[in-house]
Structure 1
Amino acid sequence: MSEIDLSPAVILCEPQMGENIGAAARAMANFGLSDLRLVSPRDGWPNEKAEANAAKAQHIIAKTRVFERLEDAVADLSFVYATTARDRDVTKAVRGPVQASRHIRELEGQGARVGLLFGRERWGLNNDEIALADEILTLPVVPEYASLNIAQAVLVVAYEWRKAGFEDPDAAIPFAMSERSPLATKDDVIHMFEHLERLLDERHFFHPPEKRPTMVRNLRAIFQRQQLTAQEVRTLRGIFSTLEKRAPKVEE
């Protein structure tokens, strides 16, 4: 029996544009969400524009579920966050994306399914829809520009949810420093310095001669700040060798 996916469901209430649905699906895929639910999409479903804008998130589009009523879309969920930046008459607890994401992870640990409810492009969620949610999730936007595109809002919330799943938020970065070529040894770096300095000596770069020690120290300091990898040192020495072969020598 396959393991139940407890990642949050994303519910778009009466979305108007297929492009936004597709972009939201792509944002979900970026950060590991896959359960997309639509409540009465204006242009019906399936939607060619949604598919075109989903990029590599076709697997999400393919299994998207459509509901006529919001009540049916949230029926199997244990906890729902309504995303809104506006003041409402409904009194509910309000959390920011970081705190809400940690709370969602706690609920997932208890085996609960959570939903993230997003409103229409033009005017968001109404009070009756917010009343079906347990809490409000709002983003720390500038008040004068509080309205976000649906896909943008989904992206921010999905990002915070994924980050909350790691003790070190940067641990999820796929191309970490550990995957780079190892740092060069001091011996490799020193030989690179000597190679470059020999080439510069041949071209009479260090002038006047009495300033050579200071110029060498400054030159070495430039490279030392870069924390060069072994591959980078090999590349630089290859460049030096090419210049050594091609550059004409300055006549005495």
Structure 2
Amino acid sequence: MSKNAKIRDEARQVNARPPAVILCEPQLGENIGTAARAMANFGLVDLRIVNPRDGWPSEKARAAASRADHVIDNVQVFDSLEAAIADLTFVFATTARSREVPKPVRGPDEAAAKAVELGSKDLAVGYIFGRERWGLNNEEVALADEIVTLPVDPDFASLNIAQAVLVCAYEWRNTATQGALPFRLDEEEHPPATKDDVLRMFEHLEGALDRVTFFRPPERRPHMVRTLRNIFQKASLTDQEVRALRGVIAALEKRETRPPKRGDEEE
């Protein structure tokens, strides 16, 4: 197994029960589909819908889900929010507005930590998302254990449902996998260059520049050399990159250094 294959397998390992996503009276099938796609991106599969305006199933939702068919195929539809959350142990209500309902208010990262903690004990957690036009009402928020709100600009706080689902799903997976990424640069295939190789490249470059009198005036040479070396040091060059740069320098050394005449430029 390659190193990247192992990394991908590690990124799939989630030891917490994924939360359910509950959409309360969504109006557009497209929004249901894009929410399903956001869920699938981060490993959530339990999508519940309360009284979708245009009914269910929805071909518009399936098309917008962009191949997240496993989420769409398992959608559950309910007549009430109470029925949709009945089997859950802990529920978050997402809202961008201050409420009169006295509940703890969490950011998406704090909510994710709580969801993962409960999910690791195989307890069922859910996030409720409200309608496109006005979100959740106070009675619906009252059914939740805590409120989740995102760190948005208070002057433009409204998010599309799928955007809100995406943020919460991302934070959950980032916490559940401890930030595991699906791939990284394989350092075994691209090892960093040794200092000896980098210094030899510097000497090669500086020698080529000396031959075309790049360092002018001569007394500025030490400062210009330091500047060039600092530029390349910031790049953390690999062995392959140093070889490529040496090849570029060698190719340029074979070019004619006489500046072209004006007529030649036009030709």
TM > 0.5 fold call: yes
Relative to structure 1, the CA distance from residue 75 to residue 183 in structure 2 (aligned partners, 3 Å threshold; closer, same or farther) is: same
What is the aligned partner in structure 1 of residue 256 from structure 2?
248
TM-score of the superposition, structure 2-length normalised?
0.82
Describe the SS at the equivalent of 1:23. Answer: helix
Aligned-pair distance for 1:71?
Answer: 2.2
- 5+ residue gaps in structure 2? 1-13, 260-267
Give the superposition deviation at 1:210: 3.5
Residue equivalent to 1:172: 180
Shift of 1:178: 5.8
- Shift in CA distance, 227/157, structure 1 to aligned 2, threshold 3 Å: same
SS of equivalent residue, structure 1 residue 34: coil
Alignment of 1:1-252 (within 5 A): 6-167=17-178, 171-176=179-184, 181-245=190-254, 247-250=255-258
Specify whether residues 4 and 142 from structure 1 end up closer, same or farther in structure 2 by C-alpha distance, changes over 3 A only.
closer
Distance 1:38 1:54 in 2: 15
TM-score (norm 1): 0.86
**More deviation, 148-157/229-238:** 229-238
C-alpha distance after superposition, 1:55-89 (max 9, x if no partner): 24232223222222222221221111111122333
CA contact (8 A) 2:16 2:121 kept: no
Contact 2:29/2:54 (CA < 8 Å) preserved in 1? yes
Alpha-carbon distance, 1:220 to partner: 0.9
Change (3 A) 1:109 1:145: same
Structure-2 separation of matches of 1:99 and 1:137? 9
Separation in 2, partners of 1:20, 1:236: 50
The one-letter code sitting in structure 2 at the alignment partner of 1:215 is M
2-structure distance, mates of 1:20, 1:210:
66
Give the C-alpha shift of residue 5 in structure 1: 7.1
The answer to whether the 8 Å contact 1:97/1:138 transfers is yes
What letter corresponds to residue 181 of structure 2 in structure 1?
I
Change (3 A) 1:241 1:65: farther
1:223: how far off?
0.7
How far the C-alpha of 1:173 sits from its partner, in A, is 2.8
Residue 129 (structure 1) shift:
1.8
Alignment length (residue pairs) = 245
Q: Do the aligned residues in 2 keep the contact of 1:95 with 1:135 (CA within 8 Å)?
A: yes
- 1:35–1:60 contact (8 Å) kept in structure 2: yes
Q: Tell me if the contact between 2:16 and 2:119 (Cα under 8 Å) persists in the aligned partners.
A: no
Deviation of 1:142 after TM superposition, in Å, equals: 2.4
Write out the 4+ residue segments of structure 1 that deviate beyond 6 Å after TM superposition: none
SS at match of 1:231: helix
Does the CA contact (< 8 Å) of 2:115 and 2:125 recur in 1? Answer: yes
Contact 2:96–2:157 under 8 Å retained in 1: yes
Distance 1:27 1:231, change over 3 A: farther
Contact 2:32/2:61 (8 A) holds in 1: yes
Q: For the residues of structure 2 that align with 1:61 and 1:154, how far apart are their CA atoms? A: 15
1:22: how far off?
Answer: 1.9
User: What's the counterpart of residue 265 of structure 2?
Assistant: none
